[in-house]
């Protein structure tokens, strides 16, 4: 009964209005035949996509596992045991990358599509919580691997790079016709995106783009490959904007751009909090997701140890900056920039062979991605939502 009382409600979209409308009135000028008057007419109002579910997190976790149909709720993490075949990671469904934007947490799910977790303020049909949205990639995404998830410009929607991975399994399929895909709150399907820097490498000419990332220098780095009967042509390039074509760089420069950034270049508040996190454990590096960043960023202090996963936010007003971090086993830490609040807590225990791979927050709800891992292979994978009591005190 106690578990039932604290159980987190999952409100399916059937209980929600069919759409949530923007009530802002936008006008357009319509000219009459003699151009002597102006008629003001409302512009079309785009309905937002309703959430798949509204999550009301509590003391006990909500577990979701990825299936061919998208994220599916499971009662316990133990239900994920032996539920999915272990296959090489490029061909398995799992959270590949996470971004944060405008209060939302965004996930690019390999072989599956997009997941958006967004504050839900409630309606007459139900209370507030966190809206769970899923944009299926359909059959296209099942063929290709997610190679990147980045925000090209601060005011743009993030984009995913899809590529044909043949490291573990040779596939007799062409490179994706459109390597870049995005989504927005007005669409239930992914949207193809074009960027001048990548357009020079057309898939119909055999080019495949398998890497896209931002280096610590602020340049975008990407790699294009094309195979033919004799050999494989590989080009490594960089550009200061995805709106401009890339320039070739050396293999050394390309690899150096993938190295973690020194902790000294992190924003001051983040640098101080990560220093505190590193001092408490064996790790000296962190994979950081933040609304401040256009991609995942990695920072290192120079010491060895497996990286921690972290979420950094400046908050809505000055002085509210905080860091949420966890290691792969779920040993978590919440710390504010002024160090007035430092709270250690444990994420829900995972079965043997399972690890946490990322963390983030939407409002006061903590989300963490998880995977079943053996070597380079992944079995079951998904994410978890919870409101730890330690953060509500």
Could you list the pLDDT tens digit for every one of the 393 residues in the chain? 333 333 344 444 333 333 333 322 222 223 333 333 334 444 455 567 889 999 998 999 999 999 999 999 999 999 999 999 999 999 999 999 999 998 999 999 999 999 999 998 866 555 679 999 999 999 999 999 999 999 998 888 999 999 998 888 777 888 999 999 999 888 888 999 999 999 989 888 889 999 999 998 899 999 999 876 567 889 999 999 999 999 999 999 999 999 999 999 999 999 999 999 999 888 899 999 999 999 999 999 977 778 999 999 987 665 689 999 999 999 999 999 999 999 999 999 999 999 999 999 999 999 999 999 999 999 999 999 999 988 876
Helix (H, G, I), strand (E, B) or coil at 107: strand
Token readout for 286 is 């962190």
What pLDDT was estimated at residue 127? 66
Tell me the C-alpha distance between 53 and 248, whole Å.
46
User: 223: closest CA among 300, 161, 281?
Assistant: 161
In the chain, where the domains are located: 2-19+42-214+216-257+347-391
Nearest to residue 103, comparing CAs of 341, 311, 347? 311
- Lookup: tokens for 180: 């870049």
* Predicted pLDDT of residue 45: 57
Closest CA to 326 of 360, 295, 351, 301: 360
**Are 335 and 315 within 8 A, CB to CB?**
no
* pTM for the predicted model, two decimal places: 0.85
pLDDT of residue 293: 95
């Amino acid at each position: 009964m106690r578990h039932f009382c604290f159980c987190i409600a999952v409100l399916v979209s059937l209980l929600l209005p069919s759409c949530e409308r923007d009530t802002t009135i936008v006008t357009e000028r319509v000219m009459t035949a003699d151009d002597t008057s102006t008629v003001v007419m409302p512009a079309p109002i785009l309905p937002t996509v309703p959430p798949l579910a509204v999550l009301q997190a509590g003391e006990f976790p909500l577990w979701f596992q990825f299936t061919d149909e998208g994220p599916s709720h499971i009662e316990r993490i133990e239900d994920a045991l032996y539920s999915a075949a272990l296959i090489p990671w490029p061909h398995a469904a799992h959270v590949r990358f996470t971004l944060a934007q405008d209060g939302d947490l965004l996930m690019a799910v390999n072989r599956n599509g997009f997941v958006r977790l967004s504050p839900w303020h409630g309606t007459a049909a139900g209370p507030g919580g966190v809206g769970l949205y899923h944009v299926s990639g359909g059959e296209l995404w099942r063929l290709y691997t997610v190679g990147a998830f980045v925000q090209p410009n601060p005011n743009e929607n993030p984009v995913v790079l899809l590529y044909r991975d043949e490291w573990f399994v040779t596939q007799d399929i062409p490179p994706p016709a459109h390597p870049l895909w995005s989504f927005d709150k007005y669409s239930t399907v992914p949207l193809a995106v074009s960027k001048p820097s990548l357009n020079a490498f057309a898939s119909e000419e055999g080019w495949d783009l398998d890497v896209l990332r931002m280096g610590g220098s602020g340049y975008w780095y990407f790699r294009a490959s094309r195979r033919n009967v004799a050999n494989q042509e590989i080009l490594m390039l960089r550009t200061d904007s995805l709106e401009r074509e890339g320039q070739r760089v050396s293999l050394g420069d390309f690899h150096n751009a993938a190295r973690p950034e020194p902790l000294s270049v992190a924003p001051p508040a983040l640098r101080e909090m990560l220093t505190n996190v590193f001092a408490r454990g064996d790790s000296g590096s962190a994979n950081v997701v933040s609304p401040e960043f256009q991609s995942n960023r990695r920072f290192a202090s120079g010491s060895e140890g497996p990286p921690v996963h972290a979420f950094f936010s400046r908050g809505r007003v000055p002085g509210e900056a905080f860091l949420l971090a966890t290691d792969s086993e779920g040993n978590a830490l919440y710390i504010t920039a002024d160090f007035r609040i430092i709270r250690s807590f444990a994420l829900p225990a995972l079965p043997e062979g399972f690890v946490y791979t990322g963390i983030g927050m939407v409002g006061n709800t903590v989300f963490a991605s998880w995977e079943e891992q053996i070597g380079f292979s992944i079995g079951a994978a998904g994410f978890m939502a919870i409101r730890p009591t330690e953060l509500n005190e």
